[in-house]
Structure 1
Amino acid sequence: MAAIGKIREQSTLLLIVIGGAMVAFVLGDIFSNRGGSGQGDQYVGEVFGEEINLVEYEKRVEAEKQSMASIGQGAASSQDQQIRNQVWNDMVQEKVMYTEMNKIGLRLGQDEFDDIRFGENVREDFMGNQNFQDPQTGQFDPKLVQNYFSVIQTQYPLFYEAQVNRIVNERLYEKYNALVKNGAFVNVLEAKDEYYRQEQQVNFNYVGREYANIADSTVAISDDELRAYYNEHKEEDRFDRDASANIKFVAFDVQPTEEDKVAIKEELSGLKNDFSKAKSDSLFVLKFSSSRNANQIDLKGADNPDLQGMIDNAENGDVIGPFQMGEKFAIAKIKNKGTEERASARHILLSNQSEADMKVLMARADSIKKVIQKNDNFEEMVTKFSEDPGSIQNGGKYEDFDRKMMVAEFTEAAFDKPVGSINIVETTYGVHIVEPLEHNDVNVVKALVVDEPIIPSNRTFNEAYDEANTFSIDAKDAAGLVKLAEEKGFKVEEGNKVTTQARTIPGIAGSVEAVRWAHNVDKTNVGQVSQPFEFDRKIVVVGLDKRTSSGLASFEDAKEDIKPDAIREKKIEIFKAEMKDKSLEDLKAEFNLEIKNAVNVSEKRPSLPGGANEGYIVGYALSMKEGDLSQPLEGNRGVYVVKLNSKTEVEPREDYTTYRDELLQNKQNGVKTYTIGVYRALKDFAKVKDERSRSF
């Protein structure tokens, strides 16, 4: 979640964006039944066979833009496609999820909506938001949330609707996903099967000829063999192709000139006097800064000697600059030069997402703490037990943070406990084992910044556009584009099999307009060259080489894609013929192979020495009798011959609870979040079609 400031101007709470990027709102009563769609003449896609029409889509796009504009965040032209894609994704998600939720009558009432904002079951992103914490105690204050929603509802109603819609949707999706998760079930037969998969083990000797040991280039395969492979497999889903286009294009990079950079710095210099006299620094920043970040930042000049010199000579209230900050020039008003407490700590997180019972987590944390205190092996315990992906690779460390960065309980342990002590604390994320590593008072400079991106001027951009336009006219057609580019020394890029679902052409961010141009069958012909497209700092001229309709891929279109698979099948045939009816010792001598031994492998753990995961080979071995020698077997990595040494016969049990619980946990983890579990499955079932390229 993006950092959110606590700036107030004349008792008005500065608008904040909760939880990152905003999403569009649904017109109408946000608590009512949704998911339906009106019919329209202009088709841009469908979900569950129900069309999404252009009018509906454009209303949502415009509503999102107005919502952003209402709080002073008007979308730049470069953001237009980002907004359109976000709105499309939101519409698809709503139609998919509400179709299912309406079937079971899932709703969110006003009482529950209030409860998750400022009641007894407040959302984590509110609880952990510093803007909603009492500045004296650091504790969550529900009155601040109420005040926030009251302000935006009365003063910024469009933004309010967008925020409320997002919260309502997320809550309903969470409830639906919880129903699915809690409905997961494992029966006795499944548990019994899992018991045998884990406990029935085999030991066998084997040799394997890996496919990778013979280069594909050495395997001769004819067109007739490729065609036979195609005919045998063409009913598979992988041969069902979306419409695609092959393009070639030239990209003209537009970079700011030195003259452009001087002009930007002069513009910022012209603001310094007004910034120093501003009655409200935060409003000044919101009005003039491109980033609109009205939060004070730590101004650091360690990597910028010019900036460091300005900082050293400045007093509180001075405005310094211009100076460069990454891809921007900036001026800064010094708000506070002083010292600040900083800490470094490492921790192990036992997440309440994988174990909801806090007593279990606390007991587990206590056991881990004792091991650490005995063996001094904190990093080892991090690797084994921590569930914080943000710190595992760093030994659990978070370094040089202040008292406002972490949740209150973690902060207390990191700052107020002795360095080297091992502490257990409970937070909204679960249970943490925290070891403070360092406490420091560091020099800090707090400042408010007005910045401007270092971008080409209109004049520079127009000059580049004129060059690209002349190139487009002179090229005349797609073949001419390549020839002319070679003459002028321009690099020609390719985009092969660019589908209608693609949002970019290779290497060009935000270039969906070029994709739509290539797929516009009414206006764009094969061989045609486009007018110049403007994508951020690139101007692109595109030539259309080929267009392929959707449906079954032809043999010629699929030929190169299937070649590796057809070669693999031929290798299998060759290997099997050469290895048939031969002992392990004969195969070792003839093909210079190593006889290896697989020990205590099972269907659950089918990994052979060297890391090959060969479930079929292990499963086949389980069906053999001791002393039997197999015929050549096709595996994932190669062709194998197996000789069974022994297998562990397991007896039926009366109780399979342990295996049932393990399977149940795996099933529940599979739907832990709707975005990677339930929603993905429902979206596939909904057969979503994105045909926006037909209308743009």
Structure 2
Amino acid sequence: MATLEKIRSKSTLLLIVVGAALLAFIIGDFFTSGRTLFGTGTTIAKVGNEKIDIQEFQRRYEEVNQQYQQQNTKMDPAALQQYVLNQMIQERLINKEIEDLGIEVTDNELSKAMLGPNAHYAMIQFAQQMGFQSPDQLYDVAFNPTKYNVPADQAQQIQALWLNQEHQMAEMLKQQKLQYLLASSIVANDLDAKAFYDSNASTSHIIYAHKNYADVPNDQYEVTSADIRDEYNKEKNSFKVNDETRRAHFIAVNIAPSQADINQGRVLVDTTISRLSATPAVDAINGDSNFGVDRNSAAASSITNPQLREFVTTAAPGDVKMLSFINDEFTIVKLIGSKNAIDSINVDVIAFQGDAASRDSLLTALNSGLAFEEALKRPGVAGGQADIWQTLASAPDNEVKDRLLNAGSNYFIADSMGTDARIIRVNTKRAPVNIYDFATVTYKVYPSDETIAKLNSDLENFMAGVTSADSLTVTRALSAGYTLQPAMVTANSSMLGNVPYTRNAVKWVMDAKEGQISPILEDGQNDKLIVVALNDII
């Protein structure tokens, strides 16, 4: 999850591992070949005497990759592999220091950080990103799911996320203790204090004159080849390259829809709008995999898109409109209907586990004046929460919803199954508002075969006149409508320049000879056509 990455990014403990983490990795090929940096087997890397097993690495990689997917964020697999491995190495280096110092986190410290009145900001952020008001509420939903009518499989997922966050919080607290120890160990002695005092005890006033090098005439101060060579030999160790580095230039052509493809897509969208207008709901495109459909019910105040909000509040039921065209994707909206109804209520909820007689006895006591806080202490009560606002606009119409909308001031049993039951009282109902039932329909335009063939043909024709790396120049590329980009490549590079999914292009560069030109390559997502020129091997 994003929260976990934010927690890690706040750590300044990288200072203690800068010197120790100078390890070089060749990510990619050895993950599938059965080879590692330290020979064959399942060890992917070693930190001191501790091994990082490939199965452990793959598990962590899948976890992080899933987090990016949940955020709809694309991440180059090779770059992500390198990130995960570096992260695992850093953890082991820091944990070794923590273990040697005997740093621990007590259960009380962990509870205060996660659930205390002054819970750690990371926990508050984590809960809010999960859609809850506080860590307490998230914990209650995770471990008392019946109280909130949360299905068992969803509850297990939330519990797993909570336990993972608990582990991350414990590690962060240990790191904070280590950081505090490190900071506390840096103190000024008497010599430091005297030196600081002496350096600030007197002030000097000076007058100086200067002339910029750029203002000096070049013809009066000629720089010879010998001067350059002598200066290079004097300074070259400052720029020593530890790994073989290859200087390349490349052209990356986006495989994108042509204007003809977009025009063709617009014709289909216009036809679809007509069909949607003439049929109920979204029947016109049911089962058509070319379209994505998202149906919602919401009050105007909860619709964040201003264009969408304006349409649903001014359109008549059955109206259809093309809302936007962004990133080669058309978005259509249809107002299916609207009604005036209560969109949210405030409730008290008690989760009860026990036999029917005990449940009914508790219900009678509550309606006879038993305080909510006292009810939580009764046998069989698994938990409860008061003063919860519950949105009903998007809730399906069913018996439970009807009972909530028609409830009076007494507690009642909202639902029960076996020995589990929810006892609810409706405290407040918001005034009815217009609830809009609408659907957004998306259609993505992809490049046609003809478009892709033309992009290939144009690039092939341009490259036919390029015979060597030196002949592929910026001017020549610009004259043909292409952009030539530089790249410094090593065996550890996960991508070419800043173009993701280009490990295959990196491999070509590392295998090529100086001056060679690559054939037309594709990135791993089939989004780009790429040609590379290898200029130098350093």
User: Is residue 300 from structure 1 mapped to residue 299 from structure 2 by the alignment?
Assistant: no
Deviation at 1:59? 4.5
Task: Choose from 69, 72, 77 the match for 1:80.
Answer: 77
Q: What SS is found at the alignment partner of 1:205?
A: coil
Q: How does 1:292-331 map onto structure 2 within 5 Å? A: 296-301=302-307, 310-311=311-312, 313-314=314-315, 321-324=321-324, 326-327=326-327, 328-331=329-332
Code of the aligned partner of 1:257: S
Cα–Cα, structure 1 residues 89 and 227, in superposed 2: closer, same or farther, change >3 Å? same
Deviation at 1:244? 1.4
Task: Choose from 223, 228, 231 the match for 1:229.
Answer: 231
The answer (yes or no) to whether the contact 2:276–2:320 under 8 Å persists in 1 is no
Cα–Cα, structure 1 residues 168 and 330, in superposed 2: closer, same or farther, change >3 Å? farther
Question: 1:145 matched to which residue of 2?
Answer: 139
The answer (yes or no) to whether the contact 2:247–2:486 under 8 Å persists in 1 is yes
The answer (yes or no) to whether the contact 2:293–2:439 under 8 Å persists in 1 is no
Task: Choose from 497, 506, 526 the match for 1:516.
Answer: 506
Question: 1:495 matched to which residue of 2?
Answer: 486
Code of the aligned partner of 2:523: E
The answer (yes or no) to whether the contact 2:518–2:531 under 8 Å persists in 1 is yes
Code of the aligned partner of 1:498: V
Cα–Cα, structure 1 residues 78 and 207, in superposed 2: closer, same or farther, change >3 Å? closer
Code of the aligned partner of 1:329: F
Task: Give the distance between the partners of 1:494 and 1:533, measured in 2 at CA.
Answer: 16
Deviation at 1:163? 4.4
Q: What SS is found at the alignment partner of 1:208?
A: coil
TM-score, length of structure 1 as denominator length = 0.44
The answer (yes or no) to whether the contact 1:500–1:519 under 8 Å persists in 2 is no
User: Is residue 262 from structure 1 mapped to residue 256 from structure 2 by the alignment?
Assistant: no
Task: Give the distance between the partners of 1:181 and 1:142, measured in 2 at CA.
Answer: 33
The answer (yes or no) to whether the contact 1:117–1:123 under 8 Å persists in 2 is yes
Question: 2:40 matched to which residue of 1?
Answer: 41
Question: 1:193 matched to which residue of 2?
Answer: 195
Task: Give the distance between the partners of 2:478 and 2:125, measured in 1 at CA.
Answer: 60
Q: What SS is found at the alignment partner of 2:114?
A: helix
Count of residues paired in the alignment: 387
Task: Choose from 182, 204, 226 the match for 2:184.
Answer: 182
Deviation at 1:500? 4.2
Task: Give the distance between the partners of 2:271 and 2:99, measured in 1 at CA.
Answer: 55
Question: 2:96 matched to which residue of 1?
Answer: 99
Task: Give the distance between the partners of 2:242 and 2:219, measured in 1 at CA.
Answer: 27
Q: What SS is found at the alignment partner of 1:246?
A: strand
Task: Give the distance between the partners of 1:134 and 1:62, measured in 2 at CA.
Answer: 24
Q: How does 1:243-642 map onto structure 2 within 5 Å? A: 243-258=244-259, 259-260=261-262, 261-262=265-266, 265=269, 296-301=302-307, 310-311=311-312, 313-314=314-315, 321-324=321-324, 326-327=326-327, 328-331=329-332, 450=440, 452=442, 456-457=446-447, 459=449, 462-463=452-453, 466-467=456-457, 478-479=468-469, 482=472, 489=480, 491=482, 493-495=484-486, 497-506=488-497, 508-510=498-500, 512-513=502-503, 516-521=506-511, 524-526=512-514, 527-534=516-523, 537-548=527-538
Task: Give the distance between the partners of 1:298 and 1:91, measured in 2 at CA.
Answer: 39
Cα shift readout 1:626-681 (whole Å, capped 9, x = no counterpart): xxxxxxxxxxxxxxxxxxxxxxxxxxxxxxxxxxxxxxxxxxxxxxxxxxxxxxxx
Task: Give the distance between the partners of 1:85 and 1:68, measured in 2 at CA.
Answer: 15
Cα–Cα, structure 1 residues 221 and 253, in superposed 2: closer, same or farther, change >3 Å? same
Task: Give the distance between the partners of 2:52 and 2:333, measured in 1 at CA.
Answer: 48
Cα–Cα, structure 1 residues 311 and 494, in superposed 2: closer, same or farther, change >3 Å? same
Question: 2:359 matched to which residue of 1?
Answer: none
Code of the aligned partner of 1:233: E
Question: 2:122 matched to which residue of 1?
Answer: 125
Task: Give the distance between the partners of 2:220 and 2:338, measured in 1 at CA.
Answer: 71
Task: Give the distance between the partners of 1:268 and 1:93, measured in 2 at CA.
Answer: 54
Q: What SS is found at the alignment partner of 2:223?
A: coil
Code of the aligned partner of 1:532: L
Task: Give the distance between the partners of 1:267 and 1:55, measured in 2 at CA.
Answer: 51
Task: Give the distance between the partners of 2:454 and 2:178, measured in 1 at CA.
Answer: 52
The answer (yes or no) to whether the contact 1:465–1:532 under 8 Å persists in 2 is no
Q: What SS is found at the alignment partner of 1:235?
A: helix
Deviation at 1:510? 1.4
Cα shift readout 1:432-467 (whole Å, capped 9, x = no counterpart): xxxxxxxxxxxx999998575855346467436743
Task: Give the distance between the partners of 1:22 and 1:104, measured in 2 at CA.
Answer: 23
TM-score, length of structure 2 as denominator length = 0.54
Q: What SS is found at the alignment partner of 2:537?
A: strand
Deviation at 1:509? 2.9
Code of the aligned partner of 1:99: K
Q: What SS is found at the alignment partner of 2:207?
A: strand
Task: Give the distance between the partners of 1:146 and 1:38, measured in 2 at CA.
Answer: 46
Code of the aligned partner of 1:520: M
Deviation at 1:201? 0.5
Question: 1:587 matched to which residue of 2?
Answer: none
Q: What SS is found at the alignment partner of 1:240?
A: coil
Deviation at 1:225? 2.0
Task: Give the distance between the partners of 1:491 and 1:134, measured in 2 at CA.
Answer: 46
Task: Give the distance between the partners of 2:168 and 2:252, measured in 1 at CA.
Answer: 38
Task: Give the distance between the partners of 1:46 and 1:530, measured in 2 at CA.
Answer: 38
Task: Choose from 70, 78, 87 the match for 1:90.
Answer: 87
Task: Give the distance between the partners of 2:128 and 2:278, measured in 1 at CA.
Answer: 31
**Larger relative contact order (Cα-Cα within 8 Å, sequence gap ≥ 6):** 1
Question: 1:386 matched to which residue of 2?
Answer: none
Code of the aligned partner of 1:174: Q
Task: Give the distance between the partners of 1:174 and 1:274, measured in 2 at CA.
Answer: 61
Deviation at 1:219? 3.6
Deviation at 1:124? 0.7
Question: 2:61 matched to which residue of 1?
Answer: 61
Cα shift readout 1:206-236 (whole Å, capped 9, x = no counterpart): 3334434326786422222222223333333
Question: 1:659 matched to which residue of 2?
Answer: none
Cα shift readout 1:99-153 (whole Å, capped 9, x = no counterpart): 3323323344555444322234412133357749999xxx746133342477766
In structure 2, runs of 5+ residues without a counterpart are 9-20, 22-35, 146-152, 284-291, 295-300, 341-433
Task: Give the distance between the partners of 2:444 and 2:219, measured in 1 at CA.
Answer: 50
